[in-house]
Amino acid sequence: MLDSGPIRIGTRGSPLALAQAEETRKRLIAAHPSLGEPGRLEIVPITTSGDKDQKRRLSEIGGKGLFTKELEQALADRRIDVAVHSMKDVETWLDEQFTIAAILPREDPRDVFLGREVDRLADLPPGSVVGTASLRRQAQVLHRRPDLEVKLFRGNVHTRLRKLEAGEADATLLALAGLKRSGLEHIACSILEPSEMLPAVAQGAIGLECRREDESLLELFQAVNDPESAITVAAERAMLAALDGSCRTPIGGLARLEGGELTLRALLARPDGSAIWETERRGRPEDAVALGTDAGAQLRREAEQELFE
């Protein structure tokens, strides 16, 4: 454990990101009570490129790494000691100087539907507008409902809610985990089961990224690592890596541990929803990475190569 100076927890400055940093702080104090002493833990908000540009899709301005690169630079510069991320925003491959030291207990990974006039995606009238910035959500919505229109919706939870209330769309989709952590789960009209909307890889999971050389911190953070969450995230991210996945390609994945067996569902789609490829794997938890890699390799073989160009 560090003997001098505070442990600086870097985070994006959005309300949800700050809530996740606060959850991290509370879990660290519960695991190491001495960290509750004044000045031991400091939360450092950092504005990222993904927060600055709210008008274009992430795929158009550099990918989901836009939510993490400034935090990683702060790690490299030693302005912070740990970066708290939504794991769904973390790039598929980390710089070799960094590592994910812990995955906190995962929140519910499902998506929710919010509509102005109806409570379910299936009930939207033809021609209705669904607002989302996610190609994954767009592809699955249009695959099920090609009679709908999808419109770009960027911003944090509160920004998207204001846009919905202002009539910029008839409905939107959000992560249930984000609503729960923001104390807003009551606003969800309905929860979308994975059979209807497969979540993003690692959705609902919070990861703690550190410098690989900081062995004392890596040991410290192991106390808040949730093994089950780490296994499911590892399987999903292995699938993503096999697909060379980025936010430019609609990819969904969800792993679950039940009765000692790991189940992984994986999906790849055209952005317009006109084609979807899916697969499933079952196996031992210790084979999480191999199962994910195999699932991703199958989807890559079966899908059109133009998706990867």
Going by DSSP bridges, is the β-strand pair 111-115/171-175 parallel, antiparallel, or unpaired?
antiparallel
CA proximity to 198, closest of 83, 274, 280: 280
Determine whether 89 is an active site residue: yes
Three-state secondary structure call for residue 291: helix
Helices (H), the chain: 15-31, 49-52, 58-61, 69-76, 135-144, 157-165, 176-181, 215-221, 227-242, 288-302
Residue 99: beta bridge partners? 210
DSSP 207-243: EEEEETT-HHHHHHHGGG--HHHHHHHHHHHHHHHHT
Tokens linked to 70: 């400034």
C-beta atoms surrounding 98 within 10 Å: 19
DSSP 10-61: EEESSHHHHHHHHHHHHHHHHH-GGGGSTTSEEEEEE--HHHH--SS-HHHH
Cβ atoms of 134 and 141 closer than 8 Å: no
- Of 3, 51, 53, 89, the catalytic one is 89
CA proximity to 137, closest of 25, 44, 250, 226: 250
Return the active site residues: 89
